[in-house]
Structure 1
Amino acid sequence: MEVWIGRDGERHGPYTEADVRQWLASGEVSPADLGWYEGLADWQPLSVLFPSAQAATDETATIPPMPPVATDALADVASFRRRLGAWIIDYLILMLPATIIGFSMGAPAALARFSAQLKAGVGLEVAAAEYAHTMHPAALLALLAGFIYYALFEQSRWQATPGKRALGLRVTDLEGQRITLGRSLLRNAVRLANVVTSLIPLICYLAVAWTARRQGLHDLLAKTLVLNGRAGDTDTRPASSTGGSTFSA
């Protein structure tokens, strides 16, 4: 479990639960400091969150500075669920240009032939293979459109596709900064390669569920992160109970 600590209106972390317990016991953090972890509706005193790890120190003593944060410990990595939701939105958006491309490149005629072949007794495998062969150029063009869509939006001032922006996400480098066009092209070239090889659900996205910083294969190779919070937002603290909790593909 990753724990955030709030002090003097600033958020520090995330830290592991073991570290927080150790700092409470040694007096490096105060039981009065506020804490938050994913699933809580609001910040609570550390004494409430970890009642068995009280510091054996004088509460009137000067509160020490916060323990240092690793330079790459960035806030609010996006969860698999939110990234999946953003992907679904983008997929629905990309269905429009894909449909236009398909219709302009003979999809109605190909479907009509496919149906006629089935009625004439041609095997489903044969008819489907012919349909796929006919529509192969259109499928490649639709994939290229999707590649351009992702690459341009994710390196833009939004730092996100419309789907990611709708769910309050942004793509950054490992320092939390806007990515370059070259890095965006690399990130999405990995995604494109996984689409072509039909491995995208297994390799590219499922890693988001178990890697430490919720990175897919494309994130790992391009050294990128997907974080909660739209580009330009100044307040990235976990939401309070009045604004809903933050749930960190």
Structure 2
Amino acid sequence: MFQPLSAPSYAGFWLRVLASFIDSLISCAVFFPLGIGVGLLMVASGSDPNSADMLLVRLSINGLSIVAGWLYYSLCESSSWQGTVGKKVLGLRVTDLDGRRISFVNATGRYFGKILSGLILGIGFIMVAFTERKQGLHDIMASTLVVKAGEFQYQLPPPPDFRSGGGTLGLG
């Protein structure tokens, strides 16, 4: 187990809102032109916007946006960056409760926890402002923290003393 050198400095509500805003700007820069292109193709095709075909197109686009968001957040947060571009710009990192990098599976759970946080009228996000470790519902569900980079440091514990106990492995 790692031993803490210092207590972490948790990222507060407004700092996390700003990181989310930066990520939203990036998302808009990528997906707005795509949306315009798809919209123009729909108009050019002359299809009825309320037809079953157009409903299928809209549902497909919504599904793709969920998958794109999932991959963006999960890949970034489980990478060596330990956060999205917005978090990186603001010097924030997503960690597990021991300050280590989270896995892709853990980041995936965190992402879908964010969807749940939004579905309950954003209360899961607002929790960040009121919990001791500044955790939203999605953080609690995924056992994660968002901390200021460089302020959550650990050192390895001393190696075991194999000489005690008489046996070669100290099992004695």
Q: Normalized against structure 2, the TM-score is what?
A: 0.71
Q: Distance in 2 between matches of 1:168 and 1:215?
A: 17
Residue 183 of structure 1: aligned partner: 106
Of 51, 68, 81 in structure 1, the residue corresponding to residue 14 of structure 2 is 81
Aligned-partner Cα distance in 2 for 1:233–1:160: 17
Q: Provide the residue aligned with 1:147 in structure 2.
A: 70
Aligned counterparts of 1:207 and 1:84: Cα–Cα separation in 2: 13
Deviation at 1:216, TM superposition (A): 0.7
Q: Kindly tell me: are residues 206 and 223 of structure 1, through their superposed partners in 2, closer, same or farther at Cα, counting changes over 3 Å?
A: same
How has the CA–CA distance of structure 1 residues 231 and 180 changed in structure 2, closer, same or farther, with 3 Å as cutoff? farther
Q: Which has the higher helix share?
A: 2
Q: Are residues 218 and 75 of structure 1, via their aligned partners in 2, closer, same or farther at CA, if it must alter by over 3 Å? A: same
Larger Rg, first or second structure (1 or 2): 1
Q: Could you state the TM-score of these two structures normalised by the residue count of structure 1?
A: 0.50
CA deviation after TM superposition for structure 1 residue 102, in Å: 2.5
Query: In structure 2, what is the equivalent of residue 8 of structure 1?
Result: none
Separation in 1 of the partners of 2:12 and 2:117?
Answer: 21
SS at match of 2:122: helix
Letter in 2 for 1:108: L
Task: Supply the RMSD in Å over aligned alpha carbons.
Answer: 3.2
Query: Identity of aligned pairs, percent?
Result: 35
User: Are the counterparts in 2 of residues 158 and 230 from structure 1 also a CA contact under 8 Å?
Assistant: no
Distance 1:92 1:103, change over 3 A: same
Provide the C-alpha distance between the structure 1 equivalents of 2:77 and 2:63, rounded to a whole number of angstroms. 21
Distance in 1, matches of 2:11 and 2:108, equals: 21
Equivalent-residue separation in structure 1 for 2:116 and 2:122 (angstroms)? 13
Residue 166 of structure 1 pairs with residue 89 of structure 2: yes
- SS of 1:220's partner is helix
Q: 2:40 aligns with which of 108, 128, 139?
A: 108
Match of 2:30 in 1: 97
Structure 1 contact 107–135 (Cα < 8 Å) conserved:
no
Aligned length: 146
Q: Mind listing any 5+ residue stretches in structure 2 that lack a counterpart?
A: 155-172
Task: Give the alignment of 1:20-31 within 5 angstroms.
Answer: none
Instruction: Specify every segment of 5 or more residues in structure 1 that has no aligned partner in the other structure, as ranges.
Output: 1-70, 118-126, 235-249
How far did 1:103 drift?
4.1
Which structure ranks higher in relative contact order (CA pairs < 8 Å, sequence separation ≥ 6)?
A: 2
